[in-house]
Structure 1
Amino acid sequence: MKIAIVTGSTGGIGYVTAAELARLGRHVVIAGRRPEALRAAAARIRAAYPYSTVSTGELDLADLTSVRAFAGRILVDHPRVDLLVNNAGVMAVPERRLTADGFELTFGTNHLGHFALTGLLLPALLAADAPRVVTVSAVIARRGRLDFENLDLRTGYRPMRAYSAAKLANVAFALELAARADGLRSIAVHPGTAPTGIQRHVSGPLRFLADRVVALLGQSVEDAARPSLFAATDPTASSGAYYAPRGFGEGRGLPAPARIPAAAQDPSTRTRLWTASERLTGVSYDLAARAG
């Protein structure tokens, strides 16, 4: 049975992704921070699909100790992992906060946590026959800017500046992993516009505006999960590609190739981000470890 791990899968797009993968016959590891939410998500999937097999794992991407502990358990329980969906994230945190390791929370959670997790799980991914890593970004990645002298936004912190930079980092990471990892399909996606719950930190007026935008241009959470599921399961999904809804403004519609942010296409930017991520997380990728 194929093994799939979905981060941030107790609700929203992550839950829909995990549930559909379970319906398709994958053993799905639901990864999240809160034990009670993990249990509830697993119970919902089992009730909907009684033949499915799901398990849970506590994972806090804002704490590298938690990331290492989760990866260690996975490597023992599942020596081969066929699919990792880097889905979890935080958005629009109103003031600058730090992770357990002292990183700016949005960048630390959305990018560094997933960078570390993917690297730590690499032996199990490379042991699978046709492994995939799907990294979920956002349309706002095109407005992102990676300031390598100020990645933690010690100065000039703004909620959406932090979010757009982290989402740009997601795309750049996915493309660089595709370039470096022979035999592993690394794909970036974004879900378009949908009421996913990630907007919980957004202020009242901005949330009101966001709700109106979703109503006019967006789609359901179920539809917003389609790019992730396409990248995770479709045989035509290409490594190093970026998929998003094909409709107006990439807000809704069926998955299709999307325009890659210019910064993520720049090899020097991707290399600088990779080097900085290894230094900050202490996780190096052993890309020679693919099993025969």
Structure 2
Amino acid sequence: MIEQQIPLHTPFTASSTAADVLHDVDLTGKNVIVTGGHGRLGSEVTRALSSAGASVTVAARDPERAALALAHVDSITIEALDLTDPASIDAFVARWLGTGRALHVLVNNAAVMFGPELQLDSRGHELAFSTAHLGHFRLTRGLLPALRAAHGARVVNVTSGAARFGQIRWDDLDFATGYDPAAAYGQSKRANVLFTVELDRRYADEGIRSFATHPGVIIGPGPHSPQRAAAFRAQGLVDEDGNTIIDPEGGKKTTEQGAANLVFGAASPLLEGIGGVYLKDNDVAELDDSDYPLNAESIPSMASSAMLDADDARRLWEVSERLTTEN
């Protein structure tokens, strides 16, 4: 909500890690779901929340792969979930609700890397939008009884600074008239923020608060293939020797620094009474509608009025309801 999009001036910085944010935070007795909680960023979120005492369930399309990736993390559960498959989502929801457990935190983290060619799910929806938004929309709505039962729950939707530039293609969500990978990614990330806004508006009174979190740009330490290194170099993400550039204030972060903003949204007591906002650098992001360039030296990721637009948020919710009901 735009009126709440005001920095809190927390004690954390862009360089803070997940461990810094969760210092002295006790999550014992809290149940958490992290979708894609075994990937590079997701595994650090899983590890950090589990270390703080939470009971973490990792939802993964490939549970065996997730188990291998998380072999170093104790006291977690791994469940099968394919966010592009309505039957898989509904089965996951049924299993969770069948346990009678409350859900204190849902981290909607899973996404797909966009490619040069258009990819569709089995229902004909563009894959980035299907995974990052429609799948999480269906999952979150299905888990509402468990979120209500927590009597104080949070939904964290992992977005990107690309939400600032992304547009919802209302008349062509699936890029039938021409595919652009950057536009597809931007649409999915804008959708994450708009979903956050409307989810909080609808359910804050029931104790469910929602946050959109931008982790920063995280490409990992390498080594990178020559092709990827060349692309990263053009984006200002690696140096001439192929080494990853870490510049937290400039938005280029380590995995531990990127995960910090996600666990900040999931568990920080500093966010009590707040919701429907976009977070970056472990704080509520500044609202700035200025027209900044996007280039290798500048990666603007402040909040904008457009990405938090209440009318667009309601419209997207209604469209998403229709699309997930039809399938």
Q: Are the aligned partners of 2:163 and 2:307 in contact in 1 as well (CA < 8 Å)?
A: no
Q: Choose which of 247, 258, 266 in structure 2 pairs with 1:232.
A: 266
- The CA distance in 2 between the partners of 1:229 and 1:161, in whole Å, is 28
Aligned sequence identity (%): 38
1:123/1:196 CA distance change after superposition, 3 Å: farther
Query: 1:204-243 maps to which residues of 2 (within 5 A)?
Result: 204=228, 205-210=230-235, 211-212=237-238, 215=245, 217=247, 218-237=252-271, 238-243=274-279
Query: Hey, what does 1:43 align to over in structure 2?
Result: 71
| Alpha-carbon offset, residue 167 of structure 1 | 0.1
Once the two structures are superposed, what CA deviation does each residue of 1:96-126 show, in whole Å capped at 9, x if it has no partner?
A: 1111222110110111001010001111001
Q: Are the aligned partners of 1:18 and 1:28 in contact in 2 as well (CA < 8 Å)?
A: yes
| Alpha-carbon offset, residue 216 of structure 1 | 5.2
| Alpha-carbon offset, residue 77 of structure 1 | 2.5
RMSD: 2.0
Amino acid at match of 2:218: A
TM-score (norm 2): 0.76
Q: Are the aligned partners of 1:104 and 1:153 in contact in 2 as well (CA < 8 Å)?
A: yes
TM-score (norm 1): 0.85
- The CA distance in 1 between the partners of 2:163 and 2:89, in whole Å, is 24
- The CA distance in 1 between the partners of 2:246 and 2:256, in whole Å, is 17
- The CA distance in 2 between the partners of 1:267 and 1:54, in whole Å, is 37
Query: 1:1-292 maps to which residues of 2 (within 5 A)?
Result: 1-46=29-74, 53-181=75-203, 182=205, 183-195=207-219, 204=228, 205-210=230-235, 211-212=237-238, 215=245, 217=247, 218-237=252-271, 238-245=274-281, 254-259=282-287, 260-282=303-325
Task: Indicate the structure whose relative CO is greater, using CA pairs within 8 Å and at least 6 residues apart.
Answer: 2
Q: What number of residue pairs does the alignment pair up?
A: 265
Amino acid at match of 1:56: I
Query: Hey, what does 1:290 align to over in structure 2?
Result: none
Structure 1 runs, 4 residues or longer, greater than 3 Å off: 207-211
Once the two structures are superposed, what CA deviation does each residue of 1:170-220 show, in whole Å capped at 9, x if it has no partner?
A: 0000011111102211111100111169xx9xx744345344286154111
Q: Are the aligned partners of 2:156 and 2:266 in contact in 1 as well (CA < 8 Å)?
A: yes
Amino acid at match of 1:185: R
Q: Which runs of 5 or more structure 2 residues have no equivalent in the other structure? A: 1-28, 288-302
Q: Which runs of 5 or more structure 1 residues have no equivalent in the other structure? A: 47-52, 246-253, 284-292
1:16 is paired with a residue of what secondary structure?
helix
Greater Rg over alpha carbons, structure: 2
